[in-house]
């Protein structure tokens, strides 16, 4: 079969080859145009967003600048008994324990009997007191007789003076014996009764020096105790101390009177407000730390001595690069801010955050001083960026 075109005759095979070549050239030309078009277009940066004038009017901008920021220091510590509300109680005299009237954990009142002991030392000192009283009576009568004899010219004045000196010495011995009985634990009332009746008692009482809870007992029946031994510890637990050790490199950031927060893991990480009442003047040479403490109200008795705590202390204000907290957006588990690169164009930039303080957050890296970032409204700008990224 033959085809006639402008006086040219082609066979069917030749016509098919021409048609195929024309189609290939057409497709190649289209591809070249597409490649040329794509080459002239700028690549789209997913971290850059251009916002509308309406959204621009709804956001607030902030400049990256230095601001006073306080860091929160987390210092490990423990609960301790308030030493001003604690009494270490021992026996006033050497003796053997005959009765114990207090048990561990018992609440006691001031002056309440804790234990009783039998002491030969106490009996000996009571005898010395009674003898001193008898000497006072004898020496007083001797002075009175001497004065009568002096008036009758029987003795000289020197003899009266000698007997008066002996009376003064007897008075001094009596006062010393009385003071010794006070030291050995006898009350003024008990001493007065001894002076009146001359009846000795070798039993001595161990009493609570203050109202509180018995938190330690180191005595058993029949035990021989000395005055230097600690038998009981009674503490008022309505107030306790939270004590922590601050590394010496951080102590310049802390000052007495600062507000702190005490976090107690054993109480479901409950937090208690407090104030630093003491910052030590010396460094512990073994641990290279400085002791700080705060007083805690414990009326409900929830807090127990030796509980572990974390003391959250705000450091002194230090100037640091900072932006408003509202400027920070979370993206892929990282922190970012939107930095202005044009009047209505912003770039998402990753930053490293520091501490927050009074609505500002410190920036450790990612921006420089003078950068303008989105403050209030950064969340909406990020939503707009995500919407355009999906288009």
CATH of the domain at 215: 2.40.50.100
86-115 per-position pLDDT tens digit: 999 999 899 999 999 999 999 999 999 999
Is the pLDDT at 313 greater than 80? The verdict is yes
CA atoms within 13 A on the CB side of 313: 32
**What pLDDT, on a 0 to 100 scale, did the predictor assign at position 37?**
46
**What pLDDT, on a 0 to 100 scale, did the predictor assign at position 218?**
93
**What pLDDT, on a 0 to 100 scale, did the predictor assign at position 2?**
42
Residue 193 and residue 118 in one domain: yes
CB 146 within 8 A of CB 157: no
Average pLDDT over residues 284-292: 93
pLDDT category of residue 288 using cuts at 50, 70 and 90? very high
CA distance 278 to 294: 7
Average pLDDT over residues 124-138: 90
Helices and strands counted in the chain (H then E): 6, 26
Is the pLDDT at 1 greater than 50? The verdict is no
**What pLDDT, on a 0 to 100 scale, did the predictor assign at position 232?**
96
Distances (CA, A) of 114 to 40, 96, 217, 270: 97, 14, 10, 36
Residue in this structure with the two tokens 């901008």, named with its chain if needed = 61
CA distance 212 to 189: 25
pLDDT category of residue 8 using cuts at 50, 70 and 90? very low
CA distance 368 to 108: 64
Average pLDDT over residues 146-165: 85
* Count of domains observed in the chain: 3
Is the pLDDT at 31 greater than 70? The verdict is no
Distances (CA, A) of 101 to 116, 198, 204, 216: 8, 28, 13, 14
148 within a domain of the structure (yes/no): yes
Which residues does 311 contact at the CB level (< 8 Å), separation at least 6?
74, 75, 76, 77, 242, 244, 260, 261, 262, 263, 292, 294
**What pLDDT, on a 0 to 100 scale, did the predictor assign at position 352?**
93
Average pLDDT over residues 2-30: 53
Which residues does 182 contact at the CB level (< 8 Å), separation at least 6?
188, 191
Residue finishing a domain among 194, 210, 233: 233
Residue 220 and residue 241 in one domain: no
Average pLDDT over residues 258-285: 92
Residue 119 and residue 205 in one domain: yes
Which residues does 48 contact at the CB level (< 8 Å), separation at least 6?
341, 345, 346, 347, 348, 385
**What pLDDT, on a 0 to 100 scale, did the predictor assign at position 186?**
86
Residue finishing a domain among 256, 288, 314: 314
21 within a domain of the structure (yes/no): no
Which residues does 179 contact at the CB level (< 8 Å), separation at least 6?
none
Residue 241 and residue 213 in one domain: no
Residue 194 and residue 224 in one domain: yes
Is the pLDDT at 7 greater than 50? The verdict is no
Task: Spell out the alpha helix ranges (H) of the chain.
Answer: 12-40, 53-58, 120-151, 157-183, 188-197, 378-390
345-371 per-position pLDDT tens digit: 999 999 999 888 888 899 999 999 999
Which range of residues forms the domain containing residue 286? 74-83+237-314
CA distance 139 to 171: 9
Residue 271 and residue 358 in one domain: no
Residue finishing a domain among 216, 233, 250: 233
Residue in this structure with the two tokens 């690069």, named with its chain if needed = 321
CATH number at residue 375: 2.40.420.20
**What pLDDT, on a 0 to 100 scale, did the predictor assign at position 51?**
87
CA distance 81 to 210: 14
CA atoms within 13 A on the CB side of 58: 11
Portion of the chain with pLDDT greater than 70, in percent = 88
Is the pLDDT at 383 greater than 50? The verdict is yes
CATH number at residue 253: 2.40.30.170
3-state SS assignment for residue 67: strand
22 within a domain of the structure (yes/no): no
**What pLDDT, on a 0 to 100 scale, did the predictor assign at position 273?**
92
Residue by residue, DSSP assigns 251-314 as: GGG--TT-EEEEEEGGGTTEEEEEEEEEE-SS-BTTTTEEEEEEEEE-TT----TT-EEEEEEE
Is the pLDDT at 245 greater than 50? The verdict is yes
Question: What's the chain's average pLDDT?
Answer: 86
Q: How many CB atoms lie within 10 A of CB 219?
A: 21
CA atoms within 13 A on the CB side of 67: 24
- Closest Cα partner for 340 from 41, 60, 45? 60
């Amino acid at each position: 079969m033959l085809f006639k075109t402008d006086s040219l005759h082609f066979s069917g095979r030749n016509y098919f080859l021409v048609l195929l070549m024309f189609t290939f050239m057409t497709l190649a030309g289209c591809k070249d145009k597409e490649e040329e078009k794509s080459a002239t277009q700028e690549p789209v940066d997913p971290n850059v967003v251009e916002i509308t004038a309406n959204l621009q009017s709804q956001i607030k901008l902030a400049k990256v600048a230095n601001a006073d920021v306080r860091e929160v220091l987390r210092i490990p510590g423990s609960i301790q008994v308030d030493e001003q509300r604690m009494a270490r109680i021992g026996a006033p005299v050497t003796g053997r324990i005959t009765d114990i009237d207090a048990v561990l954990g018992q609440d006691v009142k001031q002056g309440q009997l804790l234990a009783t002991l039998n002491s030969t030392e106490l009996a000996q000192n009571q005898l010395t007191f009674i003898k001193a009283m008898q000497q006072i009576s004898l020496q007083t009568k001797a002075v009175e007789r001497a004065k009568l004899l002096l008036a009758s010219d029987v003795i000289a004045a020197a003899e009266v003076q000698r007997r008066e000196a002996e009376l003064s010495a007897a008075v001094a011995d009596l006062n010393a014996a009385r003071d010794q009985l006070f030291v050995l634990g006898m009350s003024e009332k008990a001493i007065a009764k001894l002076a009146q009746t001359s009846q000795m008692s070798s039993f001595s009482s161990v009493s609570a020096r203050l109202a509180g809870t018995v938190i330690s007992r180191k005595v058993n029946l029949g035990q021989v105790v000395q005055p230097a031994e600690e038998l009981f510890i009674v503490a008022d637990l309505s107030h306790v101390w939270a004590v922590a050790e601050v590394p010496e490199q951080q102590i310049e950031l802390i000052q007495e009177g600062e507000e702190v927060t005490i976090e107690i893991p054993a109480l479901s990480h409950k937090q208690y407000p407090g104030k630093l009442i003491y910052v030590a003047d010396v460094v512990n040479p073994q641990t290279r730390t400085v002791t700080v403490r705060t007083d805690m109200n414990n009326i409900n008795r929830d807090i127990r001595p030796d509980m572990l705590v974390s003391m959250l202390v705000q450091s002194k204000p230090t100037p640091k690069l900072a932006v408003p907290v509202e400027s920070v957006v979370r993206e892929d588990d990282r922190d970012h801010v939107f930095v202005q690169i044009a009047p209505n164009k912003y770039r998402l930039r990753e930053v490293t955050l520091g501490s927050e303080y009074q609505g500002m957050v410190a920036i450790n890296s990612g921006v420089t001083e003078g950068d303008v970032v989105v403050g209030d409204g950064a969340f909406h700008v990020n939503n707009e960026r995500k919407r355009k990224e999906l288009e």
